[in-house]
C-alpha cells in the first residue's frame, strides 16, 4: 500500500477549515462574538489572550482531580476505575489477540518515523500513521489551522479553539505524567522482553529510574489516548453542530487503541482512565471560554429541540406502504 504521508499531514491541518465552513456565524460585537447553534443555544466568545493557553494548566489538573471525587461524577469515575480493574487480569491475552489480528494488517511492527532536525516528524508506514494521531504534533497542527482561519476571518471561536488545543496538549501531558510516575506500570514491549506477562508495577519509581528506563514505568495511563480525546472534545464542544465529528472521532480512537496494543505500546487497561481524563480536561478547557445561553420560551422554560415528522403513504406492486421521515 502506497501512502502519501505529506497529504495526511495536510489533511489534519485543513480539517479546521472544513469545520469552520460548516458553521454559522451569527453576531459580532466590539469585544465579543456570538454564534447561534441549530438548537437555538448561543455561544459567546471574547478574544483570547496569548497566555490563556498556559495560565489555565494548573487549573485543568486541579479540576480533573476534583471531578473524580465529586458526588455527581462518582459514576463516571467508578466506571473508569472499574473498567481498569476488570481489564487488568485479561491484559496479556487481549494484547496477544491484538498482535495476531494486527500482524496481517501491518499493525504489529514497531512504530518508526522519518526524522527532521532530530525530531520524528513523518510516519513511515500505516502503523506509524495511526499512532501519529495521538502524537502531540496533531493538536499543534490543528491549532495552527484554527489560528490561521481565525485570524483571516476575525473569528473568535476559531481563535479560542486554537488556544484551547495547545492548553489541553500541555495539561494532558502534565496530568498523565503525574499518574504514570505514581503507578509505574511496565509497558508491553518491556514486559515481553523481561518475561513479565501483564507487566509489573513499581509505584513511585525514582526520577532517575523513570528517566533512564522509561518503558518500564510509563504505560498507565495512555498519554496518546488522553491527548487525542482532549483534542476531540475541545473541537466537538466548540462546534456541536458538526454531527459527524464525534462518531468519526471515536471510531478513530478505537482504531488507535487497537494499534497501540498490536504494536506493544499499551495494555487495554491503560485506556479507561485516559479517556476520562482527556474528556474532562477537554470539556473544562472549552467550556471555560464559552458563555452559553439556552433558548427559553416566554415562561422561562428551556425550549427543547423538537423532532419534525413527515408521514408518507404509497402503494407499490400491490402492497400498501407507510413511511416516516424524521428531521432533527
Domain count, the chain: 1
pLDDT of residue 309: 42
pLDDT in tens, 253-284: 999 999 999 999 999 999 999 999 999 999 99
Q: Name the 3-class secondary structure at 275.
A: helix
Edge to edge, the sheet with strand 291-293 lists 27-28, 32-36, 42-46, 291-293
Cell readout for 58 is 494548573
Beta strands in 178-316, from DSSP E residues, in sequence order: 291-293, 308-316
Q: Which residues of the chain have pLDDT under 70?
A: 1-30, 108, 111-121, 124, 296-328
Position 120 scores a pLDDT of: 62
Determine the number of helices (DSSP H) and then strands (DSSP E) in the chain: 13, 8
- Which pLDDT score, from 0 to 100, does residue 326 have? 40
What is d(CA 232, CA 225) in angstroms, rounded to the nearest whole number?
10
For residue 184, give the C-alpha cell.
509505574
DSSP string, 144-213: HHHHHHHHHHT-HHHHHHHHHHHHHHHHHHHHHHHHHHHH-BPPHHHHHHHT-TT--B-SS--HHHHHHS
Which residue range is the domain that position 102 belongs to?
Answer: 5-327
Q: Distance between CA 310 and CA 265 in Å, rounded?
A: 51
Q: Is the pTM above the cut of 0.85?
A: no
Q: Are 122 and 137 in contact (CB under 8 A)?
A: no
Amino acid at each position: 500500500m502506497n501512502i502519501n504521508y505529506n497529504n495526511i499531514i495536510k489533511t489534519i491541518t485543513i480539517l479546521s477549515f472544513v469545520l469552520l465552513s460548516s458553521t454559522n456565524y451569527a453576531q459580532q460585537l466590539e469585544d465579543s462574538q456570538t454564534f447561534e447553534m441549530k438548537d437555538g443555544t448561543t455561544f459567546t466568545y471574547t478574544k483570547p489572550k496569548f497566555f490563556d493557553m498556559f495560565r489555565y494548566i494548573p487549573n485543568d489538573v486541579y479540576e480533573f482531580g476534583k471531578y473524580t471525587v465529586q458526588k455527581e461524577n462518582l459514576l463516571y469515575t467508578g466506571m473508569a476505575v472499574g473498567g481498569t480493574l476488570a481489564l487488568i487480569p485479561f491484559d496479556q491475552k487481549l494484547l496477544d489477540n491484538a498482535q495476531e489480528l494486527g500482524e496481517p494488517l501491518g499493525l504489529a511492527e514497531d512504530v518508526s518515523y522519518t526524522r527532521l532536525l532530530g525530531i520524528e516528524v513523518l510516519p513511515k508506514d500505516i502503523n506509524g500513521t495511526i499512532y501519529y494521531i495521538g502524537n502531540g504534533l496533531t493538536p499543534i497542527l490543528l491549532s495552527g489551522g484554527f489560528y490561521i482561519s481565525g485570524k483571516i476571518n476575525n473569528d473568535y471561536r476559531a481563535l479560542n479553539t486554537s488556544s484551547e488545543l495547545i492548553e489541553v496538549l500541555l495539561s494532558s501531558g502534565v496530568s498523565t505524567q503525574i499518574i504514570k510516575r505514581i503507578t509505574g506500570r511496565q509497558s508491553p514491549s518491556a514486559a515481553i522482553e523481561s518475561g513479565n506477562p501483564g507487566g509489573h508495577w513499581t509505584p513511585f519509581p525514582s526520577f532517575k529510574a523513570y528517566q533512564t528506563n522509561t518503558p518500564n514505568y510509563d504505560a498507565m495511563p495512555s498519554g496518546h489516548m488522553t491527548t487525542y480525546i482532549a483534542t476531540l472534545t475541545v473541537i466537538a464542544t466548540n462546534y456541536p453542530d458538526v454531527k459527524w465529528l464525534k462518531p468519526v472521532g471515536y471510531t478513530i480512537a478505537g482504531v488507535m487503541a487497537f494499534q497501540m496494543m498490536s504494536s506493544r505500546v499499551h495494555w487495554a487497561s491503560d485506556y479507561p482512565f485516559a479517556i476520562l481524563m482527556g474528556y474532562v480536561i477537554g470539556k473544562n478547557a472549552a467550556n471555560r471560554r464559552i458563555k452559553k445561553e439556552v433558548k427559553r420560551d416566554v415562561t422561562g422554560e428551556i425550549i427543547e429541540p423538537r423532532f419534525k415528522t413527515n408521514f408518507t403513504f404509497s402503494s407499490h406492486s400491490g402492497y400498501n406502504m407507510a413511511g416516516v421521515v424524521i428531521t432533527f
